[in-house]
A and B are shown apart, each in its own frame.
Chain A
Amino acid sequence: MKAYKNYMDRIRLDEEQHDKLLEAVRAAEAEKNKNAVPKLAKTRRFPLKTFGLIASAAAVIILVIGVFPGRQTKQADSISTTLRNGTEAMAPNAHEEAEMVPAVPETAPSVITENDSLTSAFASADIERPAEAVYTLTGVIDFRSVSYDGKISQTGTAVPQATAQTSRADRKTAVLTEILKLLKTMIPQMQEAGEESGVNGSEDVCRFLIEGKEYLYRSAEGILRAEGREYVLSSSERAEMGKLLNEYFADR
């Protein structure tokens, strides 16, 4: 096999290929450094796992209550559908899901006014209205924000109206962007609320949002499905959303 070795020895990248490769790798490294999750000095008061467990338990309870016919109200149905759609592992069969999926909204989403309490906003959220569904989604923060006092200030959450003509990709981008915008607006308000109550929970929340991306992915999928669009984010879309998320929080 000497001839084989001699031949293989001559296989090398030429200078141009080497330069191109190096350039691409440097760019990837720069991108990685740019998107690195910022280190927060403050340590978490509670491990994320705990909140994950609480959130999962809540989702299961709502799901179980939601599947008994006659016991579900319209609101509970809406919320459980959002949660169900956002939890792949718990997805019902296609027939059931088709029945539960609401139609594409015809009316423009309402704007949520300032200082609504989280609880009432959550209860009144109607997933047929994307803006409110986004708002409902952010209810997950309630599981995490230890210092959050139940008040939330939120304006201008109008999500672009979905139409039959809107492409899936456009809709996805609109929803993701809207979620991120909304979360970014909420952070300072949560910080303020935390300071008022004497506990600064914003770092915890920020870390949760960065580390708990899976939650957001599922919620985004839930919103898209709630609009009658069967949707599962692909890994590249998740990566894209993760990147967006990091970008949003990097400049904080």
Chain B
Amino acid sequence: MKTAEEIVNKYENLLYRAALTITQNREDALDMVQETFIKWITSRPEFQSDEHEKAWLLRVVMNLSRNLVSSAAHRLSCELLDIYPAETKEEESIMEEVLRLPEDYREIIYLYYYEGYNTEEIARILNLNVSTVRTKLSRGRGRLKGMLEEHGEARDESL
């Protein structure tokens, strides 16, 4: 059985990124990470593998973050690029466009491109149909591509 400290050390950054992707607010994201760990402590679920554990934590933090964003308590701001400034023009452009995407697209883009999950896995984590995930991923990519082209920065060859 892992201790809370081990879990925090292992997953804090992963959960923070996931929460920040949805809330776009550092304090809110931190709150959601803390809430997730507390949920883990209180329920102490049994996991079949590390991958299972990671997916469970991601699912919890994303659900909590989504709930927060849809509630009145959400501190509205888009401060991500202020707190974590982009190092290159390319990073700035892509992040500006990603942050403009609706939250449900953003989380799928994050899980697919950053965490490397496939669409079936994303569907399980977000409790969605696989076809919904595929559609949103495709539309999200399309919107990113369109936005980048609009800005004359067609750096979307990898999209």
- Which residues of A are in contact with B by a Cβ distance under 8 Å? 1-8, 10-13, 17-18, 20-22, 24-26, 28-29, 32
CB distance from B74 to the nearest CB of A (A): 19
Q: Complex formed: what's the CA distance from A217 to B34 in Å?
A: 28
Residues of A within 8 A of B30 (CB): 13, 17, 20-21
Main secondary structure of the interface of B (DSSP, over half): helix
Residues of B within 8 A of A24 (CB): 34, 37-38
Contact residue among A5, A11, A28, A32 (Cβ-Cβ distance under 8 Å from B84): A11
Contact residue among B37, B84, B98 (Cβ-Cβ distance under 8 Å from A4): B98
Q: Complex formed: what's the CA distance from A1 to B98 in Å?
A: 11
Q: Complex formed: what's the CA distance from A2 to B90 in Å?
A: 10
Residues of A within 8 A of B46 (CB): none
Stretch of B9-17, B59-67, B120-128 contacting A (4+ beta carbons < 8 Å): B9-17
Q: Complex formed: what's the CA distance from A7 to B87 in Å?
A: 8
Q: Given known contacts A12-B13, A26-B4, A26-B5, is B37 in contact with A5 (CB within 8 Å)?
A: no
Residues of A within 8 A of B159 (CB): 1
CB distance from B155 to the nearest CB of A (A): 7
In the complex, are the beta carbons of A11 and B13 less than 8 A apart? yes
Q: Complex formed: what's the CA distance from A29 to B44 in Å?
A: 11
Q: Is B110 interfacial (CB 8 A cutoff)?
A: yes
Contact residue among B5, B16, B109 (Cβ-Cβ distance under 8 Å from A22): B5
Supplied contacts A5-B113, A25-B34, A28-B37, 8 more A-B pairs, CB within 8 Å: A3-B90, A3-B91, A4-B95, A7-B84, A8-B17, A24-B37, A28-B42, A29-B4
Interface residues of B in 1-49 (CB under 8 A from A): 3-5, 8, 12-13, 16-17, 20, 30, 33-34, 37-38, 41-42
Residues of A within 8 A of B20 (CB): 11
- Across the interface, name the chain B residue whose C-beta is closest to A24: B34
Residues of A within 8 A of B87 (CB): 6-7, 10
Q: Given known contacts A21-B30, A25-B4, is B16 in contact with A13 (CB within 8 Å)?
A: yes
CB distance from A166 to the nearest CB of B (A): 30
In the complex, are the beta carbons of B37 and A25 less than 8 A apart? yes
In the complex, are the beta carbons of A7 and B41 less than 8 A apart? no
CB distance from A205 to the nearest CB of B (A): 26
Q: Is B88 interfacial (CB 8 A cutoff)?
A: yes
Q: Complex formed: what's the CA distance from A64 to B64 in Å?
A: 43
Q: Which 5 A-B pairs have the closest CB atoms?
A: A3-B90, A3-B91, A29-B4, A1-B113, A28-B38
Q: Given known contacts A1-B159, A28-B37, is B110 in contact with A8 (CB within 8 Å)?
A: yes
Instruction: With a 10 A CB-CB cut-off, give which of A5, A18, A29 has the most chain B CB atoms.
Output: A29
Contact residue among B4, B41, B155 (Cβ-Cβ distance under 8 Å from A3): B155
In the complex, are the beta carbons of A13 and B13 less than 8 A apart? yes
Residues of B within 8 A of A10 (CB): 84, 87
Q: Complex formed: what's the CA distance from A17 to B98 in Å?
A: 25
Q: Complex formed: what's the CA distance from A1 to B4 in Å?
A: 33
Residues of B within 8 A of A1 (CB): 94, 113, 158-159
Residues of B within 8 A of A26 (CB): 4-5
In the complex, are the beta carbons of A21 and B90 less than 8 A apart? no
Interface residues of B in 83-142 (CB under 8 A from A): 84, 86-88, 90-91, 93-95, 98, 109-110, 113-114
CB distance from A243 to the nearest CB of B (A): 12
Query: Could you pull out 16 A-B pairs where Cβ atoms are within 8 angstroms?
Result: A3-B95, A4-B113, A4-B114, A5-B114, A8-B17, A10-B84, A11-B13, A11-B16, A11-B17, A12-B16, A21-B34, A22-B8, A25-B5, A25-B38, A28-B42, A29-B4
